[in-house]
Amino acid sequence: MMNGLISDEIYNAYLQALLAGERAQCVELVNRLLERRIPLYDLYVNLFQRAMYQVGELWEFNRISVAVEHLATAITEGLLTLVYPLIFAAEHIGKKAVISCVASEYHQLGGKMAADFFELNGWDSYFLGANTPAEELLKLLQDKKPDLLGLSLSIYFNMDSLHRVLEQVRGSFPELPVLVGGQAFRWGGRDIAEKYPVVTYLPTLIDLESFIQKG
Amino acid sequence: MERLDIQQDLIGYLFQDAAIVLLILNQAGLIIDANNYTRRLTGDDLIGKTLADVVLDFTGTINLSGLLQKKDTLQLLNIRSRSGLPQTFYFRFLERGEHILAFGEINSLEIEALRKNLLSVNNELSNLSRELQKTNAELKKLNELKNQFLGMAAHDLRNPIGVILSYSDFLLEEAGDVLKEEHVQFLAIIRKSSEFMLSLLNDLLDVAKIESGRLDLDLESADLAALIRNNAMLNQSLADKKAIRIIFRDDAPLPNILMDRTKIEQVLNNLISNAVKFSPLGTAVEVKISIGAEHVTVSVSDEGQGIPEDERKKLFQPFSRTSVKSTGGEKSTGLGLAIVRKIVLGHGGKIGVDSEVGRGSTFYFTLPLKT
Distance between CA atoms of B125 and B135, rounded to whole angstroms?
A: 15
Residues of A in contact with B127 (CB under 8 A): 108, 112, 127, 129
Q: Choose the mutation target among B109, B125, B126 for the interface with A, i.e. most A CBs under 10 Å.
A: B126
Q: Is B151 helix (H, G, I), strand (E, B) or coil?
A: helix
**What is the per-residue pLDDT for B238?**
84
Q: Which residue stretches of chain A have pLDDT < 50?
A: none
Burial B14-41 (b: 16+ CB within 10 A, else e): ebeebeebbbebeeeeebebbbebbeeb
Q: Which residue has the higher pLDDT, B101 or B238?
A: B101
Strand order in the sheet with B75-79: B31-34, B21-26, B99-105, B87-96, B75-79
Give the pLDDT confidence of B84-143 residue by residue, as tens digits.
888 899 999 999 899 999 999 998 888 888 888 888 888 889 999 999 999 999 898 888
Give mean pLDDT, residues B210-224: 84
Q: How confident is the model at residue B149 (pLDDT cuts 50, 70, 90)?
A: confident
Residue pair B203/B333 in contact by the 8 Å Cβ criterion: yes
- Inter-chain CB proximity A88 and B138 less than 8 Å: yes
**What is the per-residue pLDDT for B141?**
87
User: From start to end of chain A, where are the E strands?
Assistant: 2-3, 6-7, 96-101, 124-127, 148-152, 178-181, 199-201
pLDDT of residue B176 exceeding 90, the answer is no
Distance between CA atoms of A93 and A88, rounded to whole angstroms?
A: 12
8-state DSSP, B241 = T
**What is the per-residue pLDDT for A2?**
56
Residue A103: what are its φ and ψ, rounded to 5°?
Answer: -60, 145
**What is the per-residue pLDDT for A28?**
97
**What is the per-residue pLDDT for B4?**
86
- Inter-chain CB proximity B123 and A80 less than 8 Å: no
- Inter-chain CB proximity B126 and A85 less than 8 Å: no
B95 - beta bridge partners? B100
Residue pair A76/A109 in contact by the 8 Å Cβ criterion: yes
Instruction: State the distance between the two ends of chain B, measured CA to CA, in whole angstroms.
Output: 93
Q: Tell me, yes or no, if B117 comes closer than 8 A to chain A by beta carbon.
A: no
Task: Count CB atoms within 10 A of the CB of residue B336.
Answer: 21
Task: For chain A, give the percent of residues with pLDDT over 70.
Answer: 99
- Inter-chain CB proximity A81 and B138 less than 8 Å: no
Task: For chain B, give the percent of residues with pLDDT over 90.
Answer: 50
